Every structure is written in structure tokens, then in C-alpha cells.
Amino acid sequence: MAMLGKRRPPRPASNKSGLARQESAKQAPNAETTSDQVLTIERLAHDGRGVGHLPSGKAVFVDQALPGERVEIATHMTRKRFDEAHIRERLSAAPERVTPPCPHFGHCGGCDLQHMSVPAQREHKREVVRELLFRQGISWQGSLDTLKSDSDAYRRRARLGVNVDREGRVLMGFRAQRSHRLVDIASCCVLVPELQALITPLRDVLGSLKSPRDVGHIELLATPDTCVVIVRQLKEQPQDADRWHAFANEQGVALGMRSGRDSAERDSINRDNPERAKSQAGSPELHWVGAPPVLNDILTLPGCESLTLEFSPGDFLQVNADVNQQMVAQVIQWLAPQKGQQLLDLYAGMGNFSLPMAAAGAKVHAVEGSPAMVARLVANAHRHQLPVNGQQADLNSRESVNALLKEIPADAVILDPPRGGAESVCQALAKISAKPHQRPRIAYVSCDPATLARDAAHLMHGGYRIARVVAADMFVHTAHMETLMLLEPPA
């Protein structure tokens, strides 16, 4: 169902815009007042911006514009090959346009697609997958369904920046799009309800602090049994500590403090994972106020007892619990592990795929880069008495990957890499020197369809074929997505 045509040269890991390459940019002089043009939007870019063309043929990426709309634009950035603009006046509206549910949409950079209906967002994401595969010479003619949740209030983890402006007002929120400017928020409709309920009390406590300037950011996390608030306190302030303790008691949340200056330490495994690197790199040690909470994720999958996975605050956690369970169920359904089959779970984290696969009968060898997460994964498997072997390895290293594939001949492989993808692993799997029918089936779970397409092309050049593709709407109202792909070895 997927045809492999002439292949374009591999593209670098995508930037968020899906544009071919970063170019030097110039702020358009007086763009706000002088550069008004009327355009018809032709299509959506990967990041959800509308794309139109000036009479000269130059492309323009327009914030919050939808295909078919006529818009008068104001250019805010000019580049050599394209401009970037926003809508000055919308002259017509596309049928997919809806009123954004959040009052902060357009200022806050947390969401980029709230002006589109959710079905249209999902169609756009499916198109992105098809197009990125096509760019790698892969024409996917098969179905492309979407795993989705009924609720848009999905985000069980968030990091809110804190700042004090020139007038002395305390701001708490997310960064504006393509900017470091903090947007003050009074609500956030994509957070799970337990975290939404903390926004006003957090604003109140921040407003009552003697030194709000000494708060860097606040991390929020909701598990099935508890809510966690971790405060990054840049300088210890004992008088403010009391206020935080009172907040934790009133709200019934577990409170952690990271106080003091950043250390210079960097966790090398986080280099490929900017989100986690940001939240962990060099942060001072975490101190719990009161007893440390036990953080659990609970997987309830069809035909399987529920599985409890314990984790620590800095660990990778799939942000949308409902869609995550559907992804795990999908991978189990595709690989249909038989008793005794050997499975390799690569980029295994705390065992989100390893444990359910072992519970379904497979012998699992799980590989993860972070030593702390390997320990967590092994402990989680041990608690459930499941046959999971944990190994720490850098899966970007060709030597490690080649040794691993030689040592553990697998019936099936799960890949769930960070945004940079799993190029070394896929290049090695493409060259594996087993008889075709002994080569493993591969379930690839990706958070960047551009690197997935690149890696799928490597596998197809090694004889693999794409059997199934599914999009997972893990991050509703944003241009981010997960994509699942099943690749079969040659018959």
C-alpha cells in the first residue's frame, strides 16, 4: 500500500514550522502600518499557519489563517524566500473556522490551532503525515485513522513560567509564540480539570509572596491519585516558604521545591530531548515538603489487568493519559505478541510499552538511555512479576545498536524515540542479516512525523513495507502529534 518512489535526500530533523530551512530574518520595517496586502490562503503549513503567495510569487506564512480565506495581512518578518505575517483583517471565513475556546488564544504560545474545528485539526495532521512520507518518496495509499480522546482537557503535565513586569504585576503562564515573552493566563482549557483548578490559587499565592521575582517557574503534574506542584525557587525565601506550605495544605497537593542556583551539570541523554533538558538540566535537587508522594501512572488496557507504573517527577510521561492507553493498545494489537516471543522495546522510558507487552506474553528486552529510568522500568516490571529485562544504552550510537541487534534477535521491535527519531536504529534494522522471515516486525511510535518519514524510508530501502499508519491526537489544539506505523519485513 505504500509505494517507495525516487527518494529525496534525507531532511534534517524538522523545525516546528515544517519549513525547508531556517533563513536569516529581518523584522519588516513598519510592517504593522505599511505592508498590507490581500491574499487568498492556499494551504496549511505543518505548523498550522496558512500559506498564500504575494503577486511576486513569494510565499507568505500567515498566523491563524485557513485555506480558502481572503485575508489582509500585516507582515512582521521578511526572509529571503518567504515572509511571515498575521491577519490584519479577515475578508472571508473558511467553514473550518471556529471561535477559539480559550480567551488567551492568539497571545499564548501553548496552542496554535484553536481557530480550527477539532475534526479539521485532525484532518490537517493526517495530511502532514501523508505529505512528509511523500517527501521521502513514500506514497501512502492506505487508511490513516486517528486515535483521539473525547476530552480536550488532556494535559496532565505543564510548566508555567513566572515573571514580574515593569509595573510590578506578577505574571504566570506560557511563552508567546516564537518569543520568550511570558503571557499571563487566568485559565487553560487544555489542562486536566484537577490542574485547571489550581490556576487561580496559584495566582493568589504568587500575588501574596514577598519575593515573587525569586520564583522561576512552576511545574504541575496530575496522576490518578495526586496532584503535584513543584516550585523553582531561584533564591531561598523562608518567609515565602510558609505561604507555599499553606497553599499546599489548602489545595491538598504534594509540594516540591527546587531552591537555589542552577548547577552546571548536564544529563547527556537529555541533549536530544529539549523539553526534559529544560526542566531538569542543572536544576537544584528537589525537596518535598512533607512525605514524598508516590507517583503512579495506571494503564488499563483491554483484556489485561491494570498495570501501575511508578515514576519520578523528571521522568518522561506521555502527556495525554487517554490517548496513551489507546496507543499502547494499538501497538499490542498490531504486534499480537505470542507467549515466549522476544520483543525489543527501544526508548522504553519507565516501561509504558514494555510492561503491557510482557503482560500479553512477550519476553521483553527494554532499552533506555537514562539510567534512572532503566531502574524505574526494572522495578515496575519486578513489582508486577513480568519478564522484562532492562538495559541502559545510547541508541544514537551505531556500535551500541549493532551490538544490541546481534545479541538479542527479536521477533518484534517497538521504537518510541524523542523528536530526533531513531535513524541509527532504523539504518541497522534495514541491514539486519537475518533471513527475511526472521527479521522483526516494527511498531514505530513517533512524536515527529518528519523524522518518522526519514526513518521509514531507511527501512523501506532495506526491504520493509509499511503495513499500517495511524495518527494519534495526543496534543489537541496544537500542531504537535504522534504517529504510529507498523512496518513488516519482506515476506
Ligand X SMILES: C[S@@+](CC[C@H](N)C(=O)[O-])C[C@H]1O[C@@H](n2cnc3c(N)ncnc32)[C@H](O)[C@@H]1O
Residues in the annotated binding site for S-adenosyl-L-methionine? 318, 347, 368, 416
User: Could you say whether residue 293 binds ligand X (CB under 6 A)?
Assistant: no
Nearer to ligand X, 256 or 418 (CB): 418
The three grid cell numbers given for residue 172, joined into one nine-digit string:
504566570
User: Could you say whether residue 318 binds ligand X (CB under 6 A)?
Assistant: yes
Among 83, 84, 184, 416, binds ligand X (CB under 6 A): 416
- Here's the x/- map for ligand X, 215-254, by CB under 6 A: it reads as ----------------------------------------
* Of residues 100, 61, 14, the one with CA closest to residue 477: 100
Q: Distance between CA 472 and CA 149 in Å, rounded? A: 9
The alpha carbon torsion through 300, 306, 311, 316 (nearest 10 deg) reads -30
Q: Distance between CA 90 and CA 72 in Å, rounded? A: 6
Residues 6+ apart with CB under 8 A from 13: 419, 420, 421, 448, 450, 451
List the binding residues. Answer: 318, 347, 368, 416
User: Could you say whether residue 313 binds ligand X (CB under 6 A)?
Assistant: no
User: Could you say whether residue 369 binds ligand X (CB under 6 A)?
Assistant: yes
User: Could you say whether residue 352 binds ligand X (CB under 6 A)?
Assistant: yes
Nearer to ligand X, 34 or 397 (CB): 397
- Here's the x/- map for ligand X, 251-280, by CB under 6 A: it reads as ------------------x--xx-------
Nearer to ligand X, 177 or 370 (CB): 370
Q: Distance between CA 487 and CA 425 in Å, rounded? A: 14
Among the listed residues 108, 111, 188, 447, the single catalytic one is 447
CA-based angle 485:487:491, to the nearest 5?
A: 155
Identity at 484, one-letter amino acid code: L
Closest distance between ligand X and the C-beta of residue 54, in Å? 39
- Contact between 359 and 384 under an 8 Å Cβ cutoff? The reply is yes
The H or E element that residue 299 is part of is: strand 295-299
Among 373, 401, 472, 479, binds ligand X (CB under 6 A): 373
Closest distance between ligand X and the C-beta of residue 331, in Å? 10
Q: Which stretch binds ligand X (CB under 6 A): 37-45, 72-80, 170-178, 363-371?
A: 363-371
Task: Please name the residue that has the C-alpha cell 533563513.
Answer: 23
The three grid cell numbers given for residue 24, joined into one nine-digit string:
536569516
User: Could you say whether residue 381 binds ligand X (CB under 6 A)?
Assistant: no
Closest distance between ligand X and the C-beta of residue 104, in Å? 28
How many residues bind ligand X (CB under 6 A)? The answer is: 21
Residues 6+ apart with CB under 8 A from 398: 424, 427, 428
User: Could you say whether residue 370 binds ligand X (CB under 6 A)?
Assistant: yes
3 state DSSP class of 133: helix
| Residue 304 annotated among the catalytic residues of the structure | no
User: Could you say whether residue 475 binds ligand X (CB under 6 A)?
Assistant: no
Q: Which stretch binds ligand X (CB under 6 A): 174-182, 388-396, 425-433, 464-472?
A: 388-396
CA distances from 66 to 26, 52, 75, 126, 450 (A): 25, 10, 17, 16, 22
Which residues make beta-bridge pairs with 175? 182
Catalytic residues: 447
Residues that bind ligand X (CB under 6 A): 269, 272-273, 316, 318, 347-349, 352-353, 368-370, 373, 394-396, 416-418, 447
